[in-house]
Chain A
C-alpha cells in the first residue's frame, strides 16, 4: 500500500508540473481545476487495471472525467503512464491538434470518453457499469465530477439509477474545492449537506482529504455493496501558492514569470517526496 501511495504521490506531482506547463504553452484555462483534481486522478490511476500498450483491452477498468475542463490532467497522467509520449503534451490547445482543452478521445489513446459539458459523465459511467454487470464482468468504473457540476440534474438522475441497480462496480469522486465558475458553491447554489444528500440517494458515501493519497486510496479500496461516492475535500489551484483558492485561475493561463514560480514550487514538492 505504501508503494502505491508513493506512486500516486509522485504521479500527482508530475501531473501538476505537466499541466502548468501545458496551460502556459497553450495559453489555456482551467489550470486551477487541474491542480485541484490531480491527487484524485493520480490515486485512481495508481490502482486501475489498465494496459498502456493495449488501451482498449477488454479487461480494463474505466475512467471517465465528467469535469472535462480538467482534461489536461488526463492527458498528463496518460503520458506519464506511457499511453503516448510526453512530447505529445505539447499538442494541448495547439491549432491543428486533437488535444482539446476539454478532454477528447479522438487520437488520444487511453481517453475513454470525451466530455466538456457538465452532467454527462456519471450517466455514461452508469451505462458502462450496468453493461458490465449484465455481462457478469468485474471491471470497475471510476468517474470524477466537480462540485459545481452537481447543479446538473442529470447527475441526480444517474445517482438514482446507480443505487436502484446496485452498481457496486461504480465509484464516483467529487472534487469538492468549493469554488465554481463565478464563486463559492454555497453562495451560488448550496450543495451542503452534500454527504447526507449522496447517502440519502443510496450511495455508500465517505468524505476524505482530496490531497491525501492514503485517504483517497483507502476509500477506493474499501469495497461496498452499493455504488460508492467519495467526496474529496480539495483546494482549487493546490500546489501553486498564488493560484490556491482563486477563481481567477479557472480562466487565466500562467505567463512566463508565473510559470517559473509555479514550477519552482512544484519542483520543491517533488524533491520533498524524493527525500522521503
Chain B
C-alpha cells in the first residue's frame, strides 16, 4: 500500500504539483531514498519529533503547501494529537497524516506499536477525513482522491501489501461503500481496511452452512453517501461489522449511529478489539485470531449465537 501511495504522490509532483511535501518523523528506511533523490525539495526527515512534524506541516500548509506526514500508525496520531486537533483540523489545513502498520501490522513489536485506537480518535476530529484502503489498488484510488482535494485527512495503510481483494482488476473509481462480492442474502458483512479479507473469508464460511451474505468495504466514514449506506442497511436483517480497531468509536460504532439515527430495524453484530491491551507476541494474523477478529473465530461466535 505504501508504495502505491508514494507512486501516486510522485506522479502528481511530476505532473507539476510542486507544492507537495512529504515529512517523515525518521521512519521509512528503504522507502524514501529514491523519492528524496528525485525530489529533494519535496522531502524532509524532521527527526524523531512527531509534535514538531505536525506543527511544521501546519505552518507549511499555511503557505500553500500540501503536506503528507508519515510515520508508523501510533506515532503521528497519538503522540501529537493536540497538534492535529488545534493546528491542522481547527485551521482546516491541507495536511494528510499517513500511517503504516494499521492495527496489528507491527504486531510482534509489542503494544507500543499497535495502531488500534487511531481510527476512532482520528474519526472524531472535526474537519478530518479518514481513509482506510482495503488493498493496494484501493490505496492508489484513495491517494488520488486525497491529492485532488484539500483539507485535513488521515490515510491508514496496511504494513504488508494486501493481495487484491477488490472485485475487478482495474478499479479506478472511488466507491463508498464498495460492494466487494455479489449482492445477495439478508446478511451484510461490512468491513474497513486490510481486514476486509477476513470479511470475505467469513462470507465463504457462512455460505458453506447455507447462510448467504454480501460484503461491503467502507473506505471513509466522512466521505460516504448516506443514501447509499441506507440502501445497504435497509435491505438486510443482519449487519456484521469487522474492524482491526477498538470497538469504541470505530466502524461498529459508526454503523450503530447510522442504524439508530435512521431507526433501522436491523441487528448489528460488531466485531473489533474489545478494549484491552494485548501483551501477547504475534504477527498480524496471529493477533487477529488471538483477539477474536479473524474469520474463523467470528464464524464460531456467530454459530454459537445461532444455535
Contact = CB atoms under 8 A, between A and B. Distances in A.
Q: Bound pair: A and B?
A: yes
Interface residues of A, number: 29
Interface string A130-142: 1110110000000
Contact of B59 (A125, A135, A164): A125
Given A157-B52, A158-B52, A158-B55, A114 B91 contact: yes
A248 interface: no
Most buried by A among B21, B41, B59: B59
B63 A124 contact: no
Contact of B60 (A112, A130, A160): A130
Interface string B28-62: 00000000000001001011010110111111111
Interface string B217-260: 00000000000000000000000000000000000000000000
Given A114-B90, A120-B86, A157-B52, A132 B62 contact: no
B59 A130 contact: yes
A106 B44 CA distance: 30
A127 B58 contact: yes
Contacts of B60: 127-128, 130-131
Given A113-B62, A131-B65, A123 B47 contact: no
Q: What interface size band does chain B fall in?
A: 20 to 34
Contacts of A130: 44, 56, 59-60
Given A105-B91, A127-B57, A134-B41, A160 B62 contact: no
B87 interface: yes
B83 interface: yes
A129 B62 CA distance: 11
Contacts, number: 91
A114 B86 contact: yes
B82 interface: yes
A115 B59 CA distance: 13
Given A124-B62, A127-B56, A119 B51 contact: yes
A154 B51 contact: yes
A117 to B, nearest CB: 6
Question: Counting chain B CB atoms within 10 Å of each CB, which of A105, A114, A128 scores highest?
Answer: A128
A124 B84 CA distance: 12
A52 B238 CA distance: 60
Interface string B12-28: 00000000010000000
Contacts of A116: 86
Contacts of B49: 154, 157, 160-161
Nearest to B57: A127
Given A105-B91, A131-B60, A131-B65, A123 B82 contact: no
The 7 residue pairs across chains A and B that have the minimum distance between CB atoms: A127-B59, A123-B55, A131-B63, A157-B52, A157-B49, A127-B56, A154-B51
30 contacts: A112-B62, A113-B87, A114-B86, A114-B90, A114-B91, A117-B86, A119-B51, A120-B55, A120-B86, A123-B52, A123-B55, A125-B59, A127-B55, A127-B59, A127-B62, A128-B60, A128-B62, A128-B63, A131-B62, A134-B21, A134-B65, A154-B83, A157-B49, A157-B51, A157-B52, A158-B52, A160-B47, A160-B52, A161-B46, A161-B52
Interface of A: 105, 112-117, 119-120, 122-132, 134-135, 153-154, 157-158, 160-161, 164
